[in-house]
Amino acid sequence: MEKVSASQRESMFPNEDVFKQILNLDHFQEEKQLITKTIEKFVSQQVNPNMDKLEAHDYTLAKQLFRETGKLGLLGADVPEDYGGLSMGKRMAGNIAEKMGFGGSFSVSYNIHTGVGTLPFVYFGTEGQKRTYLPKLVSGEWVGAYALTEPHAGSDALASKTTAKKKEGTKTWKLNGEKQWITNAHIADVYVVFANTIDGITAFIVERDTPGVSVSPEEKKLGIKGSSTATVIFEDVILSDEQILGDIGKGHKIALNILNLARLKLAFANIGTSKQALAIAVEYGKERKQFQQAVVEFGMIQEKIANMAVAIYGAESSASYTAGTLDVLDNHVDNVVSHLANYAMDCSVNKVQASETLDYVIDEAVQIHGGYGYMQEYEVERIYRDARINRIFEGTNEINRQTIAKSFLKNKKEHLLAIDTNAAHPFIRHAATIINIILNAFSKVSDQTKFEQMSLRSMADIIKEFYVMNATQLMAADSNQQLKQKLANLFCEEAYQRIENNAIMLLSSLTISDNDKGEQLDDIRALPVRYSNIFLVKQEIAQAIIANDGYME
């Protein structure tokens, strides 16, 4: 099969050529509808009614739910058929994660299992390891976990103090250390564990019942109480060469690449929960009456509903596009793993965008509930607490912003922002001009290694907004819904304003001459921007969302 060069991407941003390839691979529309109904039934009948039991750490129930998801075929969408999976790709796996996002903290356990708990075997396992572990993980017979974080190695994930020492002249290793905040710790049957060896970080497969493996009591958390989170301790755990995953000393490649995929899967789950929060807010707002009318009839509440829908559409468009690009890559490249690092920026964009969308949407959902949103008997209170972790795990959003900015600046090409002035949305054209102005200004900075983190943060937000803007327009063009076009256009208009504000801050902070700085800022202010009647558009969007009782698929 002909290979495509992921290291020489024609564009780091969503574009029509790749989108056409994505659509050509979209063969699972009927399956998607069936799977969606299956998940909705599973979550509504088996997960949410048992949330209190899950939050009380009923491990038997949690493992039973995994077996049920296995029976329903929900654990192996992106696992090859040879090992019990469905080979349906990242886009379908994302859709499943999104619908499972309605399942509260169980969706966290689910995502860890299907992501970092399973994918290391898919991409880095030997044939024997794949045949040993993947069928069990796909069926739900076994639950997987990923042991990377340590007490002194959080964002600096590779600063591991856990060690694995090989006994000279043998094929055995002795593992010692502890891993903190491990999701699925108490229900997992197998852990992927990262340890320091003489050759560097190495990944090991460690089964739960191995002598020397123990798990501390559950952590007491703000939210996601229904997922198991604890420290896993390794005391003189004896392992063999056969339990090494990937190459000795190359564990960092597994850690970083799998985290990229995990960030994308997490984004889909956050999108699902955002849609759930929006639906709950609309339902409550239609029932709650103040001043003799339903809350949703008030203009400021409709503005909130429209803003929530616009944010969701942006996150949804971006995640769907990125997952599609990985499916295209997987369809053309024999060894997709060697190219995943080139999509670190894309995955970080989605992690930040979706997690911050969820935080915004659930915050507004609580606000629409008023005082009742603060009460535990209302579901939005739990979702509010559960949502907060998403900006922290799978790499903090601060770390992901650094990844976005540094990846873009490292890999930028002049033609990346050559926009078709006739085809592109006006706000996309203007945003591209701003980014080119910034790149031109950057080229005049004498020592680019000294960019402050605040400058990189602004750059990351500009790139993130531009990425999502392009995705919304592609997705809207493929839809026959007028509402989707309104959502996409409104996202672009407001995203452009955020880009402009960040660009002004960023350019003002650069160590270039005042003349150069003034010229760059004048060029931005001179752009022929035309704004719409945003209030009218938001009213129309809100009324459509209210009539539909939530987000329109």
pLDDT in tens, 376-405: 999 999 999 999 999 999 999 999 999 999
Q: What is the mean pLDDT of residues 290-300?
A: 96
pTM for the predicted model, two decimal places: 0.95
Query: Of 215, 249, 283, at which residue does a domain stop?
Result: 249
CA distance readout (Å), 155 to 188, 219, 261, 400:
23, 19, 17, 10
| Residue 6 included in any domain | no
Query: Of 233, 249, 265, at which residue does a domain stop?
Result: 249
pLDDT in tens, 181-236: 999 999 999 999 999 999 999 999 999 999 999 999 999 999 999 999 999 999 99
For residue 410, pLDDT over 90 is answered with no
For residue 447, pLDDT over 80 is answered with no
Is 394 an annotated catalytic residue? yes
When divided into structural domains, the chain yields a total of: 4
For residue 513, pLDDT over 70 is answered with yes
236 and 365 part of one domain: no
Residue 3 banded pLDDT, cuts 50, 70, 90: very low
pLDDT at 78: 92
Specify the CATH number for the domain of residue 349. 1.20.140.10
For residues 108 and 9, give the distance between their C-alpha atoms in angstroms, rounded to a whole number. 32
Q: Write out the two tokens for 45.
A: 């009948």
For residue 322, pLDDT over 70 is answered with yes
Tell how far CA 62 is from the center of its chain: 23
| Residue 5 included in any domain | no
pLDDT in tens, 99-153: 999 999 999 999 999 999 999 999 999 999 999 999 999 999 999 999 999 988 7
516 and 404 part of one domain: yes
| Residue 39 included in any domain | yes
CA distance readout (Å), 307 to 196, 284, 350, 480, 535:
47, 17, 18, 21, 11
Residue 448 banded pLDDT, cuts 50, 70, 90: low
The SS3 call for residue 246 is: coil
71 and 151 part of one domain: no
Query: Of 249, 272, 294, at which residue does a domain stop?
Result: 249
264 and 346 part of one domain: yes
Percent of the chain with pLDDT over 90: 82
Specify the CATH number for the domain of residue 76. 1.10.540.10
Are the CB atoms for 35 and 74 separated by under 8 Å? yes
Among candidate residues 98, 150, 316, 394, the one labeled active-site is 394
Specify the CATH number for the domain of residue 178. 2.40.110.10
171 and 218 part of one domain: yes
| Residue 1 included in any domain | no
Q: Write out the two tokens for 376.
A: 């535990």
Residue 2 banded pLDDT, cuts 50, 70, 90: very low
pLDDT at 189: 98
For residue 414, pLDDT over 60 is answered with no
**The pairing of beta strand 190-197 with beta strand 144-147:** parallel
127 and 168 part of one domain: no
For residue 489, pLDDT over 90 is answered with yes
For residue 269, pLDDT over 50 is answered with yes
pLDDT in tens, 449-480: 566 889 999 999 999 999 999 999 999 999 88
For residue 216, what are the domain limits?
A: 147-249
36 and 134 part of one domain: yes
| Residue 552 included in any domain | no
485 and 516 part of one domain: yes
Tell how far CA 210 is from the center of its chain: 32
pLDDT at 474: 95
408 and 524 part of one domain: yes
